[in-house]
Amino acid sequence: MIELRSAHDGFTLGAHRAPARAPRRGAVVVIQEIFGVSDHIRERCDAFAAAGYDALAPSLFDRIEPGFAAALDADGLQRGRAAVAASPWPQVVADVQAAIDALAPPVFITGFCYGGAVAWLAAARCRGLTAAAAFYGRLINDLLDDAPRVPILLHYGARDPSIPTAAVDAVRARFPALPVHLYDAGHGFCRAGSPDHAPDACALATARTLAFFDEHRPRGDA
């Protein structure tokens, strides 16, 4: 873990860091689900590190509880949703900006569920990003007035009851040029232990994300 200082209020939050373990291709901010910087998010950081990215996952709910971690059960869902409600978007954006600023360019961002919406918002409001990828970001539909300023790739599960087809279609209608991929999966298909875990869908979505980042990586960058 390293520490980041947010310009929002000077708060110091933690962040899990996974240095690149292959020839460096850039850096990526990995944004948590509502459960905090969990084993799943650390595993996602490791996957990006193995692909040549310095990965950093800021602990966005540290103001609520240092090292916030919620279980994958009904109580954990309640705690996570309460944490989201207690974390206003300007605060979250500033915390993410601190993570971006801690990394050497080019810097990308990705996120899962709640983190998918945070990645969308960062693509619209943060500085210093090159591209973004959002995995099953349900709250993106609440943020459509925030138009991304950098290229962004969207991944959804075709059988996700929390993000019905109409919600995906609304994003496509508002931003028809954005690449959107649907997978034969439900929600949380990249999280091991989820009933919707779909390793093949996760592997394909990850490969597409890496290819998208590489497509938009400035040529000549290591």
Catalytically active residues are 113, 160, 187
Calculate the CA dihedral of residues 135, 140, 146, 148 and round it to 10 degrees: 20
**Strand 53-58, strand 129-135: pairing:** unpaired
CB 149 within 8 A of CB 124: yes
CB 162 within 8 A of CB 187: yes
* CA–CA distance, 157 with 162 (Å, rounded to integer): 10
Which single residue is written with the structure tokens 């915390």? Answer: 95
CB 116 within 8 A of CB 148: no
Give ∠ CA 181-184-188 in degrees, rounded to 5. 80
Q: Count the helix, strand and coil residues of the chain and give each as a percent rounded to the nearest 5.
A: 35, 20, 40
Longest CA pairwise span in the chain (Å): 48
* CA–CA distance, 135 with 11 (Å, rounded to integer): 28
Determine if the peptide bond prior to 106 is cis (ω within 30°).
yes
